[in-house]
Amino acid sequence: MLSRVADSLYWMSRYIERAENISRLLDVNLQLLLDFEELDDVKLKEHWEPVIRATGDAEHFYKFYDVADSKNVTDFLTFNKENPSSILSCMMAARENARMIRDQLSTEMWQSINQAYLFLKSNNAKLVWDSGPYEFYKQIQDYSHLFTGLTDATFSHTEGFYFMQVGKFLERADKTSRILDIKYHILLPSVEEVGGALDAVQWSAILRSCSALEAYHRIFVASVDPLKVADFLIYNDNFPRSIEFCVREMDKNLHRISGCPTDEYANAAERASGRLLSELKYSTIEDAFKQGLHEYLEMMQQRFVEIGGEVYKSYMFHPHIDMASEIVSQQQQQQQQ
Amino acid sequence: MFFKDYEVASFFDEMFEADGTIRPHYRAIHEKMQTLNQEAFEQKRQTVDLSFLRQGITFTVYGNEEETEKIFPFDLMPRIIPNSEWEHLERGLTQRILALNLFLKDIYSEQRIIKEGVIPASYVLSGKHFRREFMGVQVPKDIYIQICGTDLIRDDKGNYLVLEDNARCPSGVSYLLENRAAMKRAFPNFFPRAGVRPVENYSEELLNTLKFIAPQPKDNPVCVLLTPGHYNSAYFEHCFLARQMGIEIVQGNDLIVRDFKVYMRTTQGLQQVDVIYRRVDDDFLDPSVFRADSALGVPGLVNALRAGNVNIANAIGTGISDDKLIYAFVPDMVRFYLSEEPVLDQVETFIASEEKHYQHILENLENLVVKSTNEAGGYGMLIGPAASKAEIETFRGLIKEDPRNFIAQPPIMLSRHPTWCPEGDFEGRHVDLRPYILSGEKTTIIPGGLTRVALRKGSLVVNSSQGGGSKDTWVLYSDE
């Protein structure tokens, strides 16, 4: 497979996963606000700033808007073209990548991604959003699920598929860690304060942002407990959005690409993912809290960046060709011929 | 009921004879269309447009604000060619492509046709697309033009004439295939009994052609399609063909030349490439030989080509054969190389460089179409009957300055075809026809072609950039 194609498949998959996560995050947070009685600007800021941080940087936000209120934040994260992490930007980028490699995709995959693009480009998108953000965000998540399902059902499970899986799970692991980190910013200055009174609603919101509420309750029947939520979202073996699950899938797919057994590694990307997986496997939530949940999650995010970089170096990067010197050397060969 | 006020006028109409009788091969579709009303027809039309948009069968238009993607307007009334007519076209096109390939082999080696005085040397050597760098270079199987898109028109008597041979990188074949798919969706019940020959095996035939021209005999030569990239207006077509053939689509920077061999850069390292179906013009193909500022090309590709380690379709330098001045000599080529009379006529052409034609052209500018020999796509053209005095004088000056650059032809009234109009009925619009010819182990012509239609009333311009659209083209098994 061409390196350029692998790169596009990987990013297409990441962008779609990103758009889905942001949609859910915004949806849940908008609903969450309905549970509060009084909201002044300060409260709103406290609520939204962590959300912005979870998807990008706040500085960028304040270049466009004065106040971090619901309207501005949703606009920034949904329709703002200058924000590379807005839903619109993500879907455009995903579609652009798809267009570059459309010969590689199944017709069904291409049409579903193109349909999402046409929807977002149409006036209809704004109308749907205006009449109810819930419908809009649901629609984006549906596009993502449709695409993921079609990929699974119509696209050969070979190298290209593995690259898409790597992109998807890397993105998802990163987003789960960031969503969990939101809660830290609001409520978790230290381990001792865990479990305050107004917690339950907000912790449920975290779970819902990861589509994890039902899955969580199947294991922990009792009320929502912060330690257990963090434990669940980081370490759960079977929930497909927990960090450990995502890292394991990513590691598995990386090994499928190279054909190397999972207990060994063939390149730096596999070593980095294998190492992270072992660490997750052999540590507990107590270890994470000892280090500080925020610090722990931040460390994770750095590791994700590192793995992404190694994947690029192992498969997609070819030394840059300097056109000018290439031309000269070819002309010399021509004369010798 | 449609066709109530349909006018055949003084043109050759594809569906109706001069007295309004329906030609036999159009009877069935005419009947079918009459069962629809305006609303039903509009509905079908919109469904088809929407499906083109959904599938992204679009070309990119660059405007001020941001780029938009538009669909190539599609007309649901098909153009129909009866079997005997098609057989005649097939014979003529096959003969013509054979002659063109023999001409290219000759012109890049012995140049017999010049030595024997059929074509003046200066006409060939001064051609913008003649590549003297390719003199003496051997081309596998002696095939230069593997893929040709020949434009045909019909005059006011219905005679088919060759207007030009597109022997470099002809495009449009994906529309031919997608138009057929759209028609099948729009008229699913009509199709099985319409007796239409299928076109769907084009991609397979194209791949066979590419494999056949591999430089060394191999069981499974690696073929790729070289595209300028996804900003190119024909990118959809490149993807479409690559996907149908199951070959990689590559950009210049995916390829690299080492030791006179071409490799593509894959996740598993470098992989050698045997055949390149290039959709990049000669000028941009190899910056170490042609334009050094080309970022689309592959430095060293020509070295690899000369070393016989790779082959490309179409060959470099085929542009000399579709030079508008050389066009005037194609009938002579047929006689010279094949000792046959040309099956297909072409448009009478006056050459400004020929003394006897020169006077005729200058004296009759207001009655002629003047074309620049090295331009394509309707640029550098004077349509005498429609031009102002000032425009005519400008061209008079240009022709006097550089006669080599001009030819002149009598204006041809293209045939017309019933075409859906926004007013809610069919009207006659001018059409042309581009069949696609593949030269590999044998010559293959896909039964059909791209029928382009000038949607604007009275217009003769069929180009998509200037209000042109397209139709599905049906070649029938029989004559009815």
In a domain, B135, yes or no: no
Residue A189's pLDDT is what?
Answer: 45
Chain B residues within 8 A of A333 when measuring between CB atoms: 260, 300, 303
Q: What is the pLDDT along chain B (480 residues), one digit of tens a residue?
A: 799 889 998 899 999 999 999 999 999 999 999 999 999 999 999 999 988 888 878 776 665 556 677 788 999 999 999 999 999 999 999 999 999 999 999 999 999 999 999 999 999 998 889 998 889 888 999 999 999 999 999 999 999 999 999 999 999 999 999 999 999 999 988 888 889 999 999 999 999 999 999 998 888 999 999 999 888 888 889 999 998 999 999 999 999 999 999 999 999 889 999 999 999 999 999 999 888 888 889 999 999 999 999 999 999 999 999 999 999 999 999 999 999 999 999 999 999 999 999 999 999 999 999 998 876 555 678 888 888 999 999 999 999 998 889 999 999 889 999 999 988 899 999 999 999 999 999 999 999 999 999 998 888 878 776 778 999 999 999 998
In a domain, B150, yes or no: no
In a domain, B359, yes or no: yes
Q: Does A320 touch chain B (CB under 8 A)?
A: no
DSSP lists the bridge partners of residue B148 as B437
Query: Per residue in B391-411, pLDDT tens?
Result: 999 999 999 998 889 999 999
Q: Which residue has the tokens 């329906």?
A: B22
Map out the domains of chain A as residue ranges: 1-155, 156-316
- Bridge-based pairing state of the strands B406-409 and B416-421: unpaired
Confidence bin at A157 (pLDDT 50/70/90): very high
Q: What is the CATH number of the domain that holds B388?
A: 3.30.1490.270
Q: Per the omega criterion (within 30 degrees of 0), is the bond before A83 cis? A: no
Q: Does A258 touch chain B (CB under 8 A)?
A: no
| Residue ending a domain, choose from B309, B339, B368 | B309
**Residue B267 to residue A107, Cβ atoms within 8 A:** no
Q: Does B284 touch chain A (CB under 8 A)?
A: no
Q: How many cross-chain Cβ pairs, A to B, lie less than 8 Å apart?
A: 83
In a domain, B261, yes or no: yes
Distance from CA of A84 to the nearest CA of B (A): 17
CA-nearest residue to B288 within chain A is: A327
Residue B447's pLDDT is what?
Answer: 96
Mean pLDDT (whole number) for A105-125? 90
Q: Which residue from B316, B285, B287, B299 is spatially nearest to B137, judged by alpha carbons?
A: B316
Tokens of B226: 């070289």
**Residue B299 to residue A326, Cβ atoms within 8 A:** yes
Residues B300 and B229 in one domain: yes
Residues B302 and B221 in one domain: yes
**Residue A327 to residue B260, Cβ atoms within 8 A:** no
Neighbours of B386 (CB within 10 A): 11
DSSP lists the bridge partners of residue B445 as B437
Q: State how far the Cα of A39 lies from the Cα of A33, in Å rounded to an integer.
A: 8
| Residue ending a domain, choose from B256, B289, B309 | B309
Chain A residues within 8 A of B303 when measuring between CB atoms: 330, 333-334, 337
Chain B residues within 8 A of A253 when measuring between CB atoms: none
Q: Can you give the residue range of the structural domain that contains B280? A: 216-309
Residue B376's pLDDT is what?
Answer: 59
Closest Cβ–Cβ partner in B251, B266, B299 for A323: B299
H helix or E strand, kind and range, residue B96: helix B83-107
Q: From residue A268, how far is each of A264, A315, A319, B398 by CA, in Å? A: 11, 11, 17, 66
Residue A57's pLDDT is what?
Answer: 77
Q: State how far the Cα of B13 lies from the Cα of B30, in Å rounded to an integer.
A: 14
Closest Cβ–Cβ partner in A3, A103, A111 for B242: A103
For residue A200, pLDDT beyond 80: no
**Residue B55 to residue A337, Cβ atoms within 8 A:** no
**Residue B292 to residue A110, Cβ atoms within 8 A:** no
Residue B65's pLDDT is what?
Answer: 57
Q: Which residue from B298, B316, B175 is spatially nearest to B227, judged by alpha carbons?
A: B298
Total of domains in chain B: 2
| Residue ending a domain, choose from B409, B444, B462 | B409
Average pLDDT in chain A: 88
Query: Torsion angle of alpha carbons A135, A141, A147, A153, nearest 10°?
Result: -100
> How buried is B4 (Cβ within 10 angstroms: 0-12 exposed, 13-18 middle, 19+ buried)?
exposed
For residue A187, pLDDT beyond 50: no
Confidence bin at A328 (pLDDT 50/70/90): confident
Residue B63's pLDDT is what?
Answer: 59
- Bridge-based pairing state of the strands B147-154 and B436-439: antiparallel
Rounded to 10 deg, the angle between the A159-187 and A133-154 helix axes is 150
For residues B416 and A59, which has the higher predicted lDDT (pLDDT)?
Answer: B416
Residue B53's pLDDT is what?
Answer: 86
Window from A184-188, A236-240, A314-318 with minimum mean pLDDT: A184-188
Residue B233's pLDDT is what?
Answer: 81
Residue A190's pLDDT is what?
Answer: 43
Q: From residue B43, how far is each of A77, B4, B219 by CA, in Å? A: 38, 21, 49
Q: State how far the Cα of B476 lies from the Cα of B239, in Å rounded to an integer.
A: 29
Mean pLDDT (whole number) for A270-275? 96
Question: DSSP letter at A2?
Answer: B
Chain B residues within 8 A of A327 when measuring between CB atoms: 287-288, 292, 299
Whether A90 contacts A98, CB under 8 Å: no
Q: Which residue has the tokens 């915004």?
A: A26
Residue A334's pLDDT is what?
Answer: 75
Closest Cβ–Cβ partner in B54, B242, B302 for A115: B54
Query: Torsion angle of alpha carbons B201, B202, B205, B210, nearest 10°?
Result: -150
Interface of B with A in 32-61 (CB under 8 A): 53-56
Whether B75 contacts B471, CB under 8 Å: yes
ipTM above 0.85?
A: no
Q: State how far the Cα of B148 lies from the Cα of B95, in Å rounded to an integer.
A: 13
Query: Torsion angle of alpha carbons A42, A47, A49, A51, nearest 10°?
Result: -170
Residue A198's pLDDT is what?
Answer: 58
H helix or E strand, kind and range, residue A47: helix A41-55
User: How far is Cα of residue A184 from the mean position of the Cα atoms in its chain?
Assistant: 19
Question: DSSP letter at A48?
Answer: H
Residue B67's pLDDT is what?
Answer: 65
